[in-house]
Amino acid sequence: MTVEHNVRRRGWRVALGVSVLAAAVSLPAQQSVTETRDPKQTQDEDFAKAVKEWTTQPYFTSPLVDHLPKVTGIPMPKDVLGYHIGAPAKLTYYADILKYYKALAAATPRVQIETIGKSDEDRELVVVWISSDANIKNLKQNRDNLARIADPRGLSDAEVKRLIATTKPQYHLMGGLHSGETGPSEMLMELAYRLVTETSPLINGIRDNVIVSITPVADPDGRDRNVDWFYKTNQEMESAGAAGAAAGGAGATAGGAATAAQAPGGGRGAAPAPEAAGAGGRGGGAALPYWGKYVFHDNNRDIHLSQVSMRALADFYFTAFPPIMHDLHESLPLLYTYSGGPPQNPNLDPILFTELPFFANFELAQMTKYGMPGVYTHGFMDGWSPGYLGSVAYNHNGMMRMYETQSGSEPRPGAAGGRGRGAQGGENAEGDQPAAAGRGRGGRGAPPAGGGRGPQPPAAPTGRGGGQDREWYRGIAIPTGAAANFSRRNNTNYMQTGVLTGLQLTSMFPNLVIENFYKKTANSIEAGKNDPPHGYVIPVQRDMTRVATLVNLLRVQRIEVGEAKSGFKTSDGTFPAGSYVIKRDQPYGRLAKNLLEKQDYPDPNLRTYDDSGWTMGLASLTDVKEIKDKTILGVATTPVKEAVAKGKVTGSGSAGMAVAHFGSNNMIAFRYRLKNLPMKVADRAFKADGIEFPAGSFIVAPPADMAQVRAAVEEFGLTAAALSAAPSVASHDADAPRVAIYTSWSGTQEIGWVRFTFDKFGIPFDLIYKERVKKGNLKNDYDVIVMPTQNANSAAVFAPPAARPVPYKKDPRYKFVGMYGESDDITGGMGAAGVEAFQRFLDAGGTLVTMGAAVRFPTELGMARTVDAAANTTSNFYAPRPIVQAEVLRLDHPVFYGYTEKLMPVKYFAGPLMTVGEPDRSNVLARYVGGDDGVLSGLMRGADEVRDRPIAVDVPGGYSGKGRVVMFANNPIYRWQNHGEFNMVFNTLLNWNDMSVSAPTASTTAAGGDR
Ligand SMILES: [Zn+2]
């Protein structure tokens, strides 16, 4: 720090006292300013020159970002990174991004950095705060004020007015959630510097009236991997002497290796630039197989905030309560600003749906005024799901904002351009669609087996995402071909201009933002008092572990839950002491309703961007009662910080221990915790020491260490009895199998959710790829191979490798690729050698478990006898993952140990539709009920098409009479949501070689016609 700078800092501190006073007595003038520069301020000439050069058309910039002030003592990004933001062939590693923000914070009192946690790969997660000296000095007070507004119960009207008048809005910006969308994290560094240094009236207004906070990179693990991939690919192309030429074409030869679903880049075949998607798009057409540790693009679909980086950000939210969270993405030409189109969730305040277009339209108007083409709103994303990361804001009475900006590629001066991407953007070209294996997005793989965003055109009026005739929600049309040569700097220019404009509007109406935040919260509390249902009760029930999970997921969202101090009666039922009570007259009462109620989809003609139904009680197979009786608000409860399911052991016998299978997912955790301890599984129900033990219960016999068993029972919340005599029930060995999870190199996302779930329940596994499979001898290492939903049909399996191999391997120069597996060439399928290895695995007595689209692997490759999965839904069918009714046909079967009801809710994923021949009828364990009455939550259009279609099929001797194939057409492990279905898979693992213990009873019929 220089002497000169110290002097100036002192000067700021003197000024500060005055501005605090000023803020307290006068409201800011609500008048837009037009001056975007301070003529007295020195601008950095090098910056202006570079930016002009990298901006591929004069209209791809604005007067807000075509200059950057030079201030002695305050480092601009180039001073730390060595390049200006948007420089060709440059992307910044996370450590350098942090280095920049830390240097900035060290140089000015206007910036503070707060550590909020660690990523999966141990990177520091931070929030960067930026505002005026006075606002930063007053940060704690302002934060406290926002916390009071976020829960205004007990405040007088006068206090509310005072808080509205004296609290600055916090505007939180999030970059790099989708780490393959590399632009936002670059742009935010320049934005931070500009907000600190610029003295234009526009920036002064923002700095004085808004507190900006920034998540520099929401998924820093994925960031580093993408930056590695980017540099590695650049380097490979240079050494191949074919930079630019090779990549465009190679995508076509990459076979099944690159699915559009995974590669907001690989999937953008329309863009002629070699890496129109930023980092993800290179690599000869095969996409980087991993972003973060587990779930790739789905980190924005993590409704329960299960992933550590998402959880850290949510936990931060509840310390700061920013009324606005703005999530920055890349996928559409040229900039889309979210305005919350239909379907709009009825639990979100109508004020939100007026604020969103207010902001979006202002940005659209300003950017249009600056002459920037391709800016639009409305025609893309809706306001239905509460499951995005930014939803944390609107779920809690704030505002989620969102952009999709077109990714930047290298500037290509003089490039002819070709066709603009706008003509076909939107539905096809972007990467922000929910990804699911087998849906064939990007023109690969099998046609959609229904569900998701199948082949239909988007419903009106959502448009095609840009570049078409004038519509009320668009500014200037994109000149023909212009979008094809859109540089990284253009991307920064657009996004930064938009963000500055959103901040400008906030600075013009700071009190309005705060007032609305207050009003939406107050409305939520009032709604709970006035509108039934007034609450929800989760009664004491047989398996309390899933209850505890559900309660704790509500607690993650800071929904208040109480435990009833004594039994109580309402007109909706009588409940014992210890039942969990959620009263709706709380700040997040509407969120509780949204998560717990049935989703009534408002219009089957409207498409939605993500899930249509998520009802938590149905998803976790937990009894949740809606309470219309207002007396619920007066029930005496003890606040719950965290729910714990207490395990209990009755009896005091010494003849062993029986552990009841009441449907807890922790049964498998218990088994693997004690994996070296021999135990049995009861084939039938039995009674011992006053407890009814269902089939599937564990029996541990002496001389096992019973203290250890007891400790595990208690830890996992299970119910057990110390037996006075060994039970006489038939049983089989509970061999804890050696498990592998098979994944292709593309479409790793759904596999990631399964890996995450197995890790959570302590199920050990190896993650294997075609490389391991082709080596053969699978049964030497594994008893069960789980194939989560992925494109593993015959075409994918036999897809030839690309002409140019795409390695994914550790390399001293690129430390972050080659994690979670390595390959000399991630393109191409496992081929005949792989198929043969699976056949030999079954031959040797192994069990193969397939889910979702992966059922096509055994059905198309001769391992599933009479079962096929070739049928498809019609083009009318549309089912954005509702929850639907299933009928369990074989409750006696080990797959359904712990389940008690013939009807159960399941998450509808995307098919496929299975058909089972006569000889295998009795092997159908469960099927869809189908029809509109079978839709329990959310939307399924054409619900008759799934009627009686099998969900779960157990095929013994699927290949040459040996081994076993268990197929689930649903996705029984989906996004940490459907906890009620997990046990179908867990039971399969626990009984992998004993599935035949319960022959179907003669009366089991009706596997449903010839399906
Ligand atoms: Zn995205």
Structure tokens at 212: 């900006």
- State the pLDDT at residue 996: 87
CA of 81 to the centre of ligand 1 (A): 25
CA of 1000 to the centre of ligand 1 (A): 48
C-alpha torsion sign, points 297, 301, 307, 312 = positive
CA of 177 to the centre of ligand 1 (A): 7
CA of 943 to the centre of ligand 1 (A): 31
CA of 680 to the centre of ligand 1 (A): 48
Structure tokens at 277: 């998607």
CA of 178 to the centre of ligand 1 (A): 5
CA of 333 to the centre of ligand 1 (A): 13
CA of 337 to the centre of ligand 1 (A): 13
- CA–CA separation, 463 and 380 (whole Å): 7
CA of 264 to the centre of ligand 1 (A): 8
- CA–CA separation, 774 and 138 (whole Å): 62
CA of 180 to the centre of ligand 1 (A): 8
Residue with tokens 């307290």: 24
Structure tokens at 929: 């009920």
CA of 488 to the centre of ligand 1 (A): 16
CA of 428 to the centre of ligand 1 (A): 14
| Terminal Cα distance for the chain, rounded | 75
CA of 852 to the centre of ligand 1 (A): 24
CA of 701 to the centre of ligand 1 (A): 53
C-alpha radius of gyration, the chain, whole number: 29
Residue with tokens 């399928």: 829
Let me know: does 838 contact 784? Beta carbons within 8 Å. Answer: no
CA of 262 to the centre of ligand 1 (A): 11
Let me know: does 451 contact 949? Beta carbons within 8 Å. Answer: no
CA of 433 to the centre of ligand 1 (A): 8
CA of 318 to the centre of ligand 1 (A): 24
CA of 279 to the centre of ligand 1 (A): 13
Run of H or E residues at 5:
helix 3-25
CA of 131 to the centre of ligand 1 (A): 27
Structure tokens at 25: 């007595």
pLDDT in tens, 976-1001: 999 999 999 999 999 999 998 765 54
- CA–CA separation, 524 and 397 (whole Å): 8
Let me know: does 185 contact 223? Beta carbons within 8 Å. Answer: yes
CA of 402 to the centre of ligand 1 (A): 10
Structure tokens at 870: 């070739």
pLDDT in tens, 295-335: 999 999 999 999 999 999 999 999 999 999 999 999 999 99
- State the pLDDT at residue 261: 32
Q: Calculate the alpha carbon distances from 998 to 682, 683, 685 in Å.
A: 11, 7, 12
CA of 192 to the centre of ligand 1 (A): 21
CA of 304 to the centre of ligand 1 (A): 18
Structure tokens at 716: 């996992």
CA of 682 to the centre of ligand 1 (A): 48
CA of 240 to the centre of ligand 1 (A): 31
CA of 854 to the centre of ligand 1 (A): 26
CA of 412 to the centre of ligand 1 (A): 25
CA of 408 to the centre of ligand 1 (A): 14
Q: Which of 926, 891, 964, 970 lies closest to 696 in space, CA to CA?
A: 891
CA of 403 to the centre of ligand 1 (A): 9
CA of 300 to the centre of ligand 1 (A): 8
Burial of 870 (0-12, 13-18, 19+ CB in 10 A): middle
- State the pLDDT at residue 363: 98
Let me know: does 115 contact 481? Beta carbons within 8 Å. Answer: no
- State the pLDDT at residue 808: 97
Please list, in sequence order, all residues whose beta carbon lies within 8 angstroms of the beta carbon of residue 778, skipping any fewer than 6 positions away. 740, 772, 785, 837, 838, 840, 841, 844, 846
CA of 362 to the centre of ligand 1 (A): 23
Give pLDDT < 70 ranges for the chain.
1-31, 242-285, 411-469, 998-1011
CA of 331 to the centre of ligand 1 (A): 7
Q: Calculate the alpha carbon distances from 423 to 213, 376, 419, 428 in Å.
A: 36, 14, 8, 10
Length of the chain in residues, anyone? 1011
- CA–CA separation, 228 and 231 (whole Å): 5
- CA–CA separation, 233 and 280 (whole Å): 10
How are beta strands 399-405 and 324-330 bridged, if at all? parallel
C-alpha torsion sign, points 814, 818, 823, 827 = negative
Burial of 530 (0-12, 13-18, 19+ CB in 10 A): exposed
Q: Quick count: other Cβ atoms within 10 Å of Cβ 43?
A: 16
CA of 181 to the centre of ligand 1 (A): 6
CA of 176 to the centre of ligand 1 (A): 8
CA of 108 to the centre of ligand 1 (A): 32
- State the pLDDT at residue 894: 98
CA of 153 to the centre of ligand 1 (A): 37
CA of 432 to the centre of ligand 1 (A): 5
CA of 179 to the centre of ligand 1 (A): 8
CA of 332 to the centre of ligand 1 (A): 10
CA of 646 to the centre of ligand 1 (A): 41
CA of 365 to the centre of ligand 1 (A): 24
